[in-house]
Amino acid sequence: MATPSNKPKLRTNKALATTQSKPQPKPQPKPSAKIVTKSHAKPIQPNAAAAKGEPAPKKRAPRVLRIISADFVASVRKAGEFPSGAPEIAFVGRSNVGKSSLINALCGREALARTSKTPGRTQRINLFDATLSDGKVLRLVDLPGFGHAEVSKAMMAQFSEMIQYYLVGSETMRKVLILQDARRDRDEDAIGFARWLNENRVPFDVVATKADEISKTKIGTVCARLKAEFQLEELPLAVSARDGSHIVELLNKLRNTAYPRPPKAVKAK
Ligand SMILES: Nc1nc2c(ncn2[C@@H]2O[C@H](COP(=O)(O)OP(=O)(O)OP(=O)(O)O)[C@@H](O)[C@H]2O)c(=O)[nH]1
Ligand SMILES: [Mg+2]
């Protein structure tokens, strides 16, 4: 323990007073707060509230995009039955990959689209209209799963003519989302299907599902593999309908696909 003599000396009030009574250097005038503006710079407008002596308005946190309501539109079996409407996003992939669950997770609903442990649950094309918190509407299209039989036939044989007709013929189709179970290996059917979409100029993207079932490090490897297999420009999102991971990111992506922002006007010099 330090002896009292070792203790650092405390400044007493007396000492303080002595320091304060010392003649202080004359305060220098503060440098002018003028901002040197270039001729083209806009003058800085004072905050209106501050000018009136009112407290500054609180900064709002950026709003998270979400689906505020979702409605079932139709269950379609025949080509002529598709009602036209909002920009469409179609969910495709093997049976049991999680298409219906992902639609439910995006909509924040438990049973909007029917899910099941039994493959082949969705046998019609089910359409849902989802209204986003920014007022835009997305039509989410739940397609029947492919490849649920163990026999791996050619993709086109498994997809009915109607689905092909719909994906290529719909004027409001904005993107086909090919879902891939993050736990599974290369999916030849889906790769063949992506090739077919490319040939028919139908835009598509890939999403890895059930990301909650694998480790974070493995997710990186899976996404890199999918990017190479499907020749994507970006790494696909790995989502989970169970724990909600990357659901908001996916929703933002889909919104921007369906309602692309107009390119910024380039000012003429
Ligand atoms: N762990 C986990 N399980 C999921 C996830 N998404 C879906 N599942 C499960 O996977 C099974 C199939 O999900 P569905 O959404 O019905 O799959 P689907 O692709 O619509 O299947 P079909 O309609 O048969 O083509 C269900 O048991 C779901 O609970 C997920 O993100 N994580
Ligand atoms: Mg389904």
Q: Give 56-100 pLDDT, tens digit per residue.
A: 777 777 678 999 999 999 988 776 778 889 999 999 998 899 999
pTM reported for the whole predicted model: 0.76
The answer to whether residue 9 is domain-embedded is no
Residue 138 placed within a domain: yes
Which residue's structure tokens are 């109607």? Answer: 162
Judge whether 154 lies within some domain: yes
The bridge status of strand 125-132 relative to strand 67-76 is: antiparallel
Q: What is the number of structural domains in the chain?
A: 1
Nearest residue to 44 (alpha-carbon basis) of 54, 53, 34: 34
The ligand placed nearest to the CA atom of residue 99 is: 1
The bound ligand whose nearest atom lies closest to the alpha carbon of 116 is 1
Q: What gap in Å lies between CA 107 and CA 66, rounded to an integer?
A: 8
**Residues 234-252: pLDDT tens digits?**
999 999 999 999 999 999 9
pLDDT band at 178 (very low <50, low <70, confident <90, very high): very high
User: What's the confidence (pLDDT) of residue 120?
Assistant: 55
Q: What is the mean pLDDT of residues 213-235?
A: 96
Atom of ligand 1 nearest to the CA of 116: 16
Residues with CB under 5 A from ligand 2 (ion): 99-100, 121-122
Which residues have C-beta atoms less than 6 Å from ligand 1?
95-101, 115-117, 119-122, 145, 209-210, 212-213, 240-242
pLDDT of residue 161: 72
Q: Which of 96, 177, 207, 210 has most ligand 1 atoms within 8 Å of its beta carbon, as the pocket-test mutant?
A: 96
CATH of the domain at 124: 3.40.50.300
Range of the structural domain that residue 105 is part of: 67-258
pLDDT at position 47, please?
Answer: 57
Quick check: is 139 in a domain?
yes
Q: List the residue whose alpha carbon is closest to atom 1 of ligand 1.
A: 210
In the block, residue with structure tokens 């179609």: 90
Whole-number Å distance, alpha carbon 91 to ligand 2 midpoint, is 9
Residue 41 lies in a domain: no
* Per-residue confidence (pLDDT) for residue 143, from 0 to 100: 87
Name which residue sits closest to atom 8 of ligand 1, judged by CA.
98
Atom of ligand 1 nearest to the CA of 123: 23
The percentage of residues in the chain with a pLDDT greater than 90, rounded to a whole number, is 49
201 falls within a domain: yes
**Does the pLDDT of residue 25 top 70, yes or no?**
no
Q: Identify whether 263 is part of a domain.
A: no
Q: Could you say which ligand is closest to the alpha carbon of residue 121?
A: 1
Beta bridge partners of 128: 72, 140
Strand partners, 175: 89
Is residue 127 within 8 A of residue 113, CB to CB? The reply is no
SS3 assignment, position 138 = strand
Higher pLDDT, 3 or 194: 194
Q: Ligand 1, residues 94, 100, 101: which to mutate, most atoms within 8 A of Cβ? A: 101
* Residue 179 domain-assigned (yes or no): yes
Residues facing 76 on adjacent strands: 125
pLDDT one-digit tens code per residue, 125-176: 899 999 999 999 999 999 888 655 443 455 545 556 778 888 888 889 999 9
